[in-house]
């Protein structure tokens, strides 16, 4: 199993000598690709840029935290663990051909998992294997990254890897060979994009105006340290599970130099109209049923098998989709990216 190799790589890298480094790793198939953003622009139909969304099918444009209860409003989830009605979303990748037209880049399932595109989701309890983390409360939501970013950030929370033909799903911590910029050359195994959420919470607020300041990365960490064992700052003392998103973009059908820009520059563009790559971001709206996430964290569930949780088949997860709300061409060769004028 690939996640075992991954966990092993992490153990070696972080110098954990004994035992397994538990991390839940499971797939959430594509729920919908739509121009909605209930966290940053609630109620806006359409939102400024296109997202790809996974999780519970109660996802919609507004999702008012005071009234929208994800577990009871959803009738299915696209995630492996059927008590997880959370929503997770990211920007969408496009290919810009030499003739100036755009085509959406499809996604594929991460190694060892079965899904229809979507996102591979990780939940990691405390890295020391002893202390417990506090699961999120209903209404909790957060955001990583900046859709307007035009330069690399100081902490490596959002990154890309140019994947080799097979394997190398190691080191999901945004360390080398990953980069905040989109890879410069053709990637035989597609492009992996990783988004790492903070692991410290202020213990009070389930959200904040910027959707970030109620959470923080541990002191002394690089923002990206997987299962970061560092102490939480006094302002954000409560350890929460580390959520990470991994998205595999199937750039392979576009590996044809004759349709790449003549100057050899890389042709991929985020749906934020960003060809550098710094604007990729991830949004999370917590929606696990009851205390299921807490149980899974306390049980140190590992991989995509967890006796503390209810699991559904990949087929059932793939059946959970919803129709797009914003009607626009997202699949053809188009002269612009949805919502972008240039």
Ligand X SMILES: *[C@@H]1O[C@H](CO)[C@@H](O)[C@H](O)[C@H]1NC(C)=O
107 to 136, contacts with ligand X by CB under 6 A? 130-132
Per-residue tokens: 262: 């003549």
Least distance from ligand X to the Cβ atom of residue 43, Å: 6
195 DSSP 8-state letter: E
Q: Does 209 bind ligand X (CB under 6 A)?
A: no
Q: Smallest gap, in angstroms, from Cβ of residue 294 to ligand X? A: 8
Query: Which residues between 156 and 185 bind ligand X (CB under 6 A)?
Result: none
Under rule CB under 6 A, residue 62 binds ligand X:
yes
CA distance 190 to 226: 23
How would you class 313 by CB atoms within 10 Å of its CB: exposed for 0-12, middle for 13-18, buried for 19 or more?
exposed
Question: What are the CA-CA distances from residue 225 to residues 195, 273, 307 (Å)?
Answer: 12, 29, 27
Q: Are 283 and 88 in contact (CB under 8 A)?
A: yes
Q: How far is the CB of 327 from ligand X (least distance, A)?
A: 15
What does the block give as tokens for 160? 């890309």
Q: What is the nearest approach in angstroms of ligand X to the Cβ of residue 73? A: 4
Q: Which of 18, 99, 150, 265 binds ligand X (CB under 6 A)?
A: 99
Binding mask 67-96 for ligand X (x = CB under 6 A): -x----x-----------------------
Joined together, the tokens standing for residue 299 give 């049980």
CB atoms under 10 Å from CB of 202, counted, come to: 17
Which residues, numbered 234-263, are part of the site for ligand X (CB under 6 A)? 259
C-beta of 144 vs 228, nearer to ligand X = 228
Contact residue for ligand X among 41, 101, 170, 222 (CB under 6 A):
101
Q: Which of 27, 30, 57, 60 binds ligand X (CB under 6 A)?
A: 60
Between 99 and 265, name the residue whose CB sits nearer to ligand X.
Answer: 99
292 binds ligand X per the rule CB under 6 A: no
Q: Are 206 and 139 in contact (CB under 8 A)?
A: yes
- Interatomic CA distance for residues 79 and 317, integer angstroms: 6
Number of residues interacting with ligand X: please give it, by CB under 6 A: 15
* Contact (CB, 8 A) for 339 and 49: yes
Is 206 a binder of ligand X (CB under 6 A)? no
Q: How far apart are CA 258 and CA 210, in angstroms?
A: 43
Q: Is 150 near ligand X (CB under 6 A)?
A: no
167 versus 253: smaller Cβ distance to ligand X: 253
Q: Does 298 bind ligand X (CB under 6 A)?
A: yes
C-alpha 148/C-alpha 125 separation (Å) is 31
C-alpha distances out from residue 103 to 52, 94, 337, Å: 15, 5, 8
Cβ distance to ligand X smaller for residue 238 or 259:
259
Decide the pairing of beta strands 200-201 and 87-91.
Answer: unpaired
Determine, following the binding rule CB under 6 A, whether residue 44 of this chain makes contact with ligand X. Answer: no
Q: Among residues 301, 304, 308, which one has the least CA distance to residue 28?
A: 304
**For ligand X, which stretch binds (CB under 6 A), given 97-105, 112-120, 223-231, 244-252?**
97-105
Number of H helices, E strands in the chain: 4, 17
Does 11 help bind ligand X (rule: CB under 6 A)? no
Residues in contact with ligand X by CB under 6 A are 58, 60-62, 68, 73, 97, 99, 101, 130-132, 259, 298, 333
């Amino acid at each position: 199993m690939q996640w075992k190799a991954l966990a092993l790589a992490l153990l070696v890298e972080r110098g954990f000598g004994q035992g397994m480094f538990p991390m839940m790793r499971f797939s959430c198939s594509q729920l919908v690709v739509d121009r909605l953003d209930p966290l940053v622009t609630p109620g806006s139909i359409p939102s400024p840029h296109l997202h790809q969304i996974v999780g519970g099918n109660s996802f919609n444009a507004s999702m008012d935290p005071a009234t929208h209860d994800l577990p009871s409003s959803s009738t299915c989830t696209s995630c492996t663990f059927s008590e997880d009605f959370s929503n997770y979303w990211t920007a969408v990748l496009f290919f810009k051909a030499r003739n100036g037209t755009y085509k959406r880049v499809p996604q594929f399932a991460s190694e060892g998992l079965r899904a229809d595109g979507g996102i591979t989701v990780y939940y990691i309890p405390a890295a020391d294997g002893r202390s417990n983390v506090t699961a999120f409360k209903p209404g909790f939501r957060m955001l990583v990254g900046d859709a307007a970013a035009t330069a690399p950030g100081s902490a490596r929370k959002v990154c890309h890897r140019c994947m080799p033909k097979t394997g190398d799903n190691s080191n999901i911590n945004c360390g080398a060979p990953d980069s905040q910029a989109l890879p410069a050359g053709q990637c035989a195994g597609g492009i992996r994009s990783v988004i790492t959420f903070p692991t410290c919470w202020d213990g009070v607020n389930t959200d904040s105006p910027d959707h970030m300041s109620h959470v923080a990365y541990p002191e002394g960490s690089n923002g990206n340290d997987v299962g970061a064992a560092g102490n939480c700052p006094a302002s954000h003392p409560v350890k929460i599970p580390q959520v990470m998103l991994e998205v595999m973009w199937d750039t392979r059908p576009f590996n044809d130099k004759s349709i790449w820009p003549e100057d050899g520059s890389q042709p991929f563009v985020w749906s934020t109209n960003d060809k550098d790559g710094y604007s990729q971001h991830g949004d999370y709206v917590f929606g696990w049923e009851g205390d299921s996430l807490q149980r899974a964290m306390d049980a140190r569930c590992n991989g995509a098998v967890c006796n503390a949780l209810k699991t559904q088949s990949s087929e059932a997860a793939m059946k959970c989709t919803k129709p797009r709300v914003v009607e626009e061409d997202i699949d053809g060769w188009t002269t612009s990216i949805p919502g972008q004028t240039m």
